[in-house]
Amino acid sequence: MTNLAATISVLQPHPGLFAYYDGRIPGKRLHGAHDNWLDDGAYKLGIATYALVSGKEAIVYDTHTSLDHARAVRDHLESLGVSRITVVLSHWHTDHIAGNAVFADCEIIANRLTAAAMETNRRKLENGDPPISPVVMPTRLFEGQLSLSLGGRAVELMQFDIHSADGTVLWLPDSGILLAGDTVEDTITYVSEPDFLTKHIEELARLGALPIRHLLPDHGDKTRIAEGGYGTELIHANSRYLQRLLSRIDEPGLSDIPLHTFIADHIAAGAVLYFEPYEDVHRKNIAAIRRAMNTSP
């Protein structure tokens, strides 16, 4: 069997914080040429999951895209001497929970909506392409906010309704580091719940009010993540993108305008780093919103 995690890189954006980055490799796919969540929702766009380490303890934020990836994360942590792992799930989507089984002996924390969505979508996850089997459920649930600590350092889990209703971000108040999950992405947010974009925009404003110094998304630029992450400009750019989409959604020629033109000002300002495969995400976003609004031609 080929190791799906053969191209994973271990980055260290900040002391004691590791990023496990894979994807954005031109011409390389993991699961075949056909449209599938592993390639088109994660590997093609690039994906990073994270681990915060202190001595023998670690908090793993998302379990990555496959069991091979999750094993690579766990092997790395064990090579550092970590023996106690707590997992936190950013939300219920495939590419963030596919490795849960590798951490089945650990505490797995998620908010109540994440657990409910995993339960509701269990068959879909188990029969997906590729399948996630078994679906390993969270073992500890919270609602709204949960305070943890690691090596005496405060770690806050905070729930946000952005991208999906069940978002959990991990906030380190001592250093202003935010692990953002899929609440923001570079180049643009992926619209998965088009009926709730107004709510997402409100919640992006609440997220942007945190005194964030280093923002680390799950889907972003490898070099930028390796060098410590983004600033809040990424939150504002994602929010302005959604506002612009909503205000122009009835424009007949909208889907003919390429993303790099649609957000040319954000790219020029350096708020986002343009990555071409997000053109496809942009087209899908427009189609999803139009379907939801029932305005498809």
Backbone angles phi, psi at 138, to 5 degrees: -60, 155
Nearer to Zn ion, 182 or 221 (CB): 182
Q: How many residues bind Zn ion (CB under 5 A)?
A: 2
Closest separation between CB of residue 191 and Zn ion, Å? Answer: 12
Amino acid code (one letter) for 261 = T
Nearer to Zn ion, 39 or 182 (CB): 182
Pick the binder of Zn ion from 182, 186, 203, 221 (CB under 5 A).
182
Terminal Cα-to-Cα distance of the chain (whole angstroms): 46
Pick the binder of Zn ion from 22, 68, 95, 166 (CB under 5 A).
95
- Of 95-103, 124-132, 255-263, 270-278, the window that binds Zn ion (rule: CB under 5 A) is 95-103
Closest separation between CB of residue 238 and Zn ion, Å? Answer: 14
Nearer to Zn ion, 213 or 283 (CB): 283
Closest separation between CB of residue 211 and Zn ion, Å? Answer: 25
Annotate 159-171 with b (16+ C-beta within 10 A) or e (fewer): bbbbbbbbbbbbb
Closest separation between CB of residue 264 and Zn ion, Å? Answer: 25
Closest separation between CB of residue 219 and Zn ion, Å? Answer: 6
Nearer to Zn ion, 65 or 82 (CB): 65
Query: Per CB under 5 A, which of residues 138..177 are in contact with Zn ion?
Result: none
Nearer to Zn ion, 68 or 95 (CB): 95
Closest separation between CB of residue 181 and Zn ion, Å? Answer: 8
Nearer to Zn ion, 138 or 167 (CB): 167
221 binds Zn ion (CB under 5 A): no
Give residues in contact with Zn ion (CB under 5 A).
95, 182
